[in-house]
């Protein structure tokens, strides 16, 4: 057994050799700190090997090991060192290659390209996790870009439609004003009535724009109070009854009992009015529009407007509440039977008002037409 004194000498010599070689290795690493990971890995492996060989050599000389035995030890250490360097080079090359792929993914992410996690390096859990996170971030950024592009296109389209809608009544007002000024109007009272109608049209459009801006900016102010759905529906039906009658369309109320919700009477009347105007615009002569309300048994009142206008294309159902959306020529600018074609803001305003009342609105096709369902929180006494 090796005496304790000799063991302490061996440990001391090995420690000194390791500290010296390790210090030199740290210096080399600092000098090569901007080099590739492959070079740094090779420096670490070479430092470990040289430290072991230096310790063995120093201990062998201190113990007067024969030259033959020392040569054997060097050859063994040399072969092991060569194999270790080759293995370290292969592993380091794989690591740097995967790092280059991750760098390429990050560059593509910055350029706005969509990444695929399947093509990412996966030689280690850390690199695979980083690649998955980059791919997931790429997907979220792509979705955000698509949403922004869609919103931007929708806004540009809305501005174009509004400009067109505003230009039409303004051109009419200018022509009629010039005719009156030049004394060319054969029937001035009729011109005055038409000018008044155009001004009302412009006022309604400006009011819609102002309402939509308040909804989108979150500044819509509501005066919440218990509101009777029956009273709201009756008032709006009476107001639009003449317009519907002019087109030979029947408005039918079908409410089940007295239903009360908590909301702003003016804004809820606007919801019902916009839905009815939309239904009248798209319903053929001789058809019927039904306005009904019921309690869903879950603390909510459901207001339904159902028409016989032929329904909405399935591809448009998800767009119908977007500002400026127009699905058919019947939504083109103009005025028919006293109903302005508007700028496609009515349903967007309805959607915003319903959400401001903590409700939901949905649309679906039914045989021969479509149905809008507005779900609003019921008043506490009714919900109980």
- pLDDT score of 246 more than 70: yes
Lowest mean pLDDT among 165-169, 189-193, 202-206, 297-301: 165-169
Question: What's the rounded Cα separation, in Å, for the pair 209 and 345?
Answer: 8
Supply the pLDDT for residue 3: 74
Mean pLDDT of 45-61: 77
Supply the pLDDT for residue 54: 78
pLDDT band for 118, please (50, 70, 90 cuts). Answer: low
- pLDDT score of 160 more than 50: yes
Task: Report CA 160 to chain centroid distance, whole Å.
Answer: 24
Mean pLDDT of 172-181: 84
Residue percentage of the chain with pLDDT more than 70: 83
Tens digit of each residue's pLDDT (9 = 90 or more) over 191-218 = 888 888 888 878 877 888 888 888 877 7
Question: What's the rounded Cα separation, in Å, for the pair 24 and 217?
Answer: 65
Distances (CA, A) of 129 to 124, 132, 193, 340: 8, 5, 71, 57
Supply the pLDDT for residue 333: 40
pLDDT band for 376, please (50, 70, 90 cuts). Answer: very high
User: CB–CB of 274/350 below 8 Å?
Assistant: yes
Question: What's the rounded Cα separation, in Å, for the pair 346 and 208?
Answer: 7
pLDDT band for 64, please (50, 70, 90 cuts). Answer: low
Mean pLDDT of 36-45: 76
Supply the pLDDT for residue 146: 81
Lowest mean pLDDT among 1-10, 321-330, 340-349: 321-330
pLDDT band for 289, please (50, 70, 90 cuts). Answer: very high
pTM of the model: 0.56
* Three-state helix/strand/coil letters over the chain: CCCHHHHHHHHHHHHHHHHHHHHHHHHHHHHCCCCCHHHHHHHHHHHHHHHHHHHHHHHHHHCCCCHHHHHHHHHHHHHHHHHHHHHHHHHHHHHHHHHHHHHHHHHHHHCCCCCCHHHCCCCCHHHHHHHHHHHHHHHHHHHHHHHHHHHHHHHHHHHHHHHHHHHHHHHHHHHHHHHHHCCCCCCHHHHHHHHHHHHHHHHHHHHHHHHHHHHHHCCCCCCCEEEEHHHHHHHHHHHHHHHHHHCCCEEEEEECCCCEEEECHHHHHHHHHHHHHHHHHHCCCCCEEEEEEEECCCCEEEEEEECCCCCCCHHHCCCCCCCCCCCCHHHCCCEECCEECCCCCHHHHHHHHHHHCCCEEEEEEECCEEEEEEEEEECHHHHC
Supply the pLDDT for residue 360: 92
Supply the pLDDT for residue 334: 45
Question: What's the rounded Cα separation, in Å, for the pair 98 and 269?
Answer: 62
- pLDDT score of 328 more than 90: no
pLDDT band for 344, please (50, 70, 90 cuts). Answer: low
Mean pLDDT of 247-252: 90
Supply the pLDDT for residue 271: 92
Supply the pLDDT for residue 126: 62
Q: What is the mean pLDDT of the chain?
A: 78
Helix axes 346-356, 188-217, angle to 10 degrees: 40
CA dihedral for 308, 309, 313, 316, sign (positive or negative)? negative
Supply the pLDDT for residue 336: 45
Residue percentage of the chain with pLDDT more than 90: 11
Question: What's the rounded Cα separation, in Å, for the pair 109 and 362?
Answer: 37
User: In 10 A of CB 198, how many CB atoms?
Assistant: 18
Most confident of 29-38, 85-94, 123-132, 353-362: 353-362
């Amino acid at each position: 057994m090796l005496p304790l004194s000799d063991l302490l000498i061996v440990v001391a010599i090995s420690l000194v050799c390791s500290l010296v070689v390790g210090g030199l290795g740290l210096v080399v690493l600092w000098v090569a700190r901007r080099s590739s990971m492959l070079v740094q890995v090779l420096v670490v492996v070479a430092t470990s090997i040289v430290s072991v060989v230096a310790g063995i050599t120093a201990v062998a000389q201190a113990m007067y090991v024969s030259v033959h035995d020392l040569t054997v030890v060097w050859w063994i250490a040399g072969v092991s060192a060569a194999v270790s360097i080759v293995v370290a080079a292969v592993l380091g090359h794989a690591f740097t290659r995967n790092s280059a792929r991750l760098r390429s993914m990050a560059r593509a992410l910055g350029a706005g390209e969509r990444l695929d996690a399947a093509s990412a390096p996966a030689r280690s859990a850390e690199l695979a996790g980083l690649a998955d996170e980059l791919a997931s971030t790429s997907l979220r950024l792509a979705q955000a870009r698509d949403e922004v592009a869609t919103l931007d296109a929708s806004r540009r389209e809305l501005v174009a439609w509004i400009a067109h809608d505003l230009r039409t009544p303004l051109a009419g007002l200018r022509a009629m004003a010039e005719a009156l000024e030049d004394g060319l109007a054969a029937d001035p009272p009729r011109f005055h009535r038409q000018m008044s109608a155009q001004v009302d049209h412009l006022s309604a459009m400006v009011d819609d724009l102002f309402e939509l801006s308040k909804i989108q900016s979150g500044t819509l102010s509501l005066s919440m109070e218990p509101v009777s759905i029956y009273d709201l529906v009756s008032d709006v039906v009476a107001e639009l009854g003449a317009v519907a009658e002019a087109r030979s369309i029947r408005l039918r109320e079908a409410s089940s009992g007295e239903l009360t919700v908590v909301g702003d009477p003016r804004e809820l009347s606007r919801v019902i009015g916009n839905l009815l105007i939309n239904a009248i615009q798209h319903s053929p002569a001789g058809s019927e529009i039904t306005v009904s309300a019921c309690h869903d048994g879950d603390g909510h009142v459901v207001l339904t407007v159902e028409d016989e206008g032929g329904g909405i294309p399935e591809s448009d159902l998800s767009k119908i509440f977007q500002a400026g959306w127009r699905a058919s020529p019947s939504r083109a600018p103009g005025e028919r039977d006293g109903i302005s074609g508007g700028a496609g803001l009515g349903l967007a305003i309805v959607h915003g008002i319903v959400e401001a009342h903590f409700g939901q609105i949905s649309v679906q096709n039914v045989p021969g037409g479509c149905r809008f369902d507005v779900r609003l929180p019921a008043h506490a006494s009714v919900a109980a």
